[in-house]
Amino acid sequence: MLEGMQNGTHNETYSGTLHAMHTDTERCVRAVQSKDARFDGWFYTAVLTTRIYCRPSCPVVPPKPENMTFYPSAAACQQAGFRACKRCRPDTTPGSPEWNQRADVVARAMRLIGDGVVDREGVPGLATRLGYSTRQIERQLLAELGAGPLALARAQRAQTARILIETTPVPMADIAFAAGFSSIRTFNDTVREVFALSPSELRARAPKNRANSPGTPGVLALRLPFRSPLNPDNLFGHLAATAVPGVEEWRDGAYRRTLRLPYGHGVVALTPKSDHIGCRLSLSDMRDLTVAISRCRRMLDLDADPVAVDDQLRTDPLLAPLVDKAPGRRVPRTVDEAEFAIRAVLGQQVSTAAARTHAARLVTAHGETVDDPEGGLTHLFPSAQALAELDPAALAMPAGRRTTLTTLVRQLADGSLHLGVESDWEETRARLLALPGFGPWTVDVIAMRALGDPDAFLPTDLGVRYAARELGLPSTPAALTARAAAWRPWRAYAVQYLWATGDHPINFLPV
């Protein structure tokens, strides 16, 4: 994935994938010695002499190569008896890009674990969602990540606990259960084992402007890391330009929206910064913290590997100037796959403004109301179950699109169609194409922005075709698809660069 790694004046190019990079000791040692932050989250360095594990970019003097060993996950390090470095905080690195660019069972399992499924439903629930036995899931995760689903979920609980300990004055007993621990004793033991500090010591060490600042009651202030570069223009521009009134807004330099979560609801404000995304979260139930963070990261595509993406797209001489001009574009995604599918249907063959109007009417009529003391958000986007009860005659749209929408929400509501982080991309595409009114554009925009397929492509999209014509690329769908084969597996990102050639509001960071 990543090509090129700078080590002082020594530059090496690596081709192929970084899949299972932790098994290539020589490669990992060079990454650690160069303190290359692009490898954070790809693997972890465990130091045999200190029993500490670090991210590759740890600022301390690198240990001797013979004292290093490498693991594919923080959970594997913890399971082997290593504790997290207090300097580089390896548990706070961006997630591995592998889980958002692959559709195999391990990647789907990791997305579900990130969404808190193991904490809510246990390993049997994880296996059921994936259609495998618990033994098969455990064996595959252990083989690739060095840790099973329980250990991976435990590492995630530890990180959630650390966030709450360091950024809130919430009592420790409440933090234990909010982070998903079954008992206070398990919480205390895990925190000590992972961080070599008690929960009280962690809070005492936190910067004064974090744990000890009163802030806004009930609001958590967090920093979401990402791999550089990140171009916020199309990312936040797209979310703001298509924002549904009452559910989303751009206010005071931040994209804000309501969140439907497993235990309750929330409101999040996301602000682009030079080296992180500022995140302010208000939750009705603190048990939703892990899920809320995971969904916001996914919406902003923060675990992407922009160097790998841009290097591949630069191989096309007509795309290279676009990439060089504004590298690091992300694919704007969603916090709710079913919501996005509904909105995609509302946006068929109409303008962005018209799509927002249709969505706003549904929100006002069928959305659940929420309080937002800090802004103008009023509702959660209506659930498929709520929309399944609507009268089709009340929809101000052509009869064909009414049928498309009502069929979609009915299947989402009764469970015959499921859209989630665990969805198999090709299988879900086929199921969507079988619905009335679903053509290639609708299916692929859902695959791109809801399911997270990094290779989804929109050759029939008018914006893509206009951009192709201006750049001298083929503009007919068949010819453009043939040319785009060289952009694989990152065609969804190529779409962002093609869209960026236009003057539509989606391409500009709001002011």
Q: Which one, of 443, 501, 500, 503, lies nearest residue 235 by Cα?
A: 500
Question: Which strand (E) or helix (H) includes residue 227?
Answer: none
DSSP track, 461-479:
-HHHHHHHHHHT---SHHH
Taken in order 434, 437, 443, 444, the sign of the CA dihedral is positive
Please state, in angstroms and as integers, the Cα–Cα distance from residue 342 to each residue in 15, 262, 408, following that order.
40, 20, 7
Q: Which one, of 52, 7, 9, lies nearest residue 27 by Cα?
A: 7
Residue 149 structure tokens: 């689903």
Residue with tokens 């259609």: 131
Question: Which strand (E) or helix (H) includes residue 78?
Answer: helix 74-79
Q: Which among 119, 303, 444, 461 is annotated as catalytic?
A: 461
What is the SS3 assignment for 256? strand
CA distance 268 to 286: 13
Q: Which among 28, 54, 279, 296 is annotated as catalytic?
A: 54
The C-alpha R_g of the chain, in whole angstroms, comes to 23
Q: Which one, of 238, 227, 221, lies nearest residue 302 by Cα?
A: 227
Instruction: Determine whether 54 is an active site residue.
Output: yes
- For the chain, helix, strand, coil in percent to 5 are 50, 10, 40
45, 70 Cβ separation under 8 angstroms: yes
Backbone angles phi, psi at 375, to 5 degrees: -165, -150
Say how many Å lie between the first and final Cα of the chain, rounded.
35
Helix 105-114 / helix 289-299 crossing angle, nearest 10 deg? 130
Question: Which strand (E) or helix (H) includes residue 30?
Answer: helix 25-34
Chain-centroid distance of CA 126 in Å reads 19
Strand 265-272, strand 277-283: pairing: antiparallel
β-partners of residue 379 are 369
CA distance 66 to 60: 17
CA distance 380 to 288: 16
Helix 337-346 / helix 399-414 crossing angle, nearest 10 deg? 170
Asked if the bond preceding 97 is cis, omega within 30° of 0, the reply is: no
Strand 52-54, strand 248-251: pairing: unpaired
Question: Which strand (E) or helix (H) includes residue 101?
Answer: helix 98-101
Chain-centroid distance of CA 64 in Å reads 35
Known catalytic residues are 54, 461
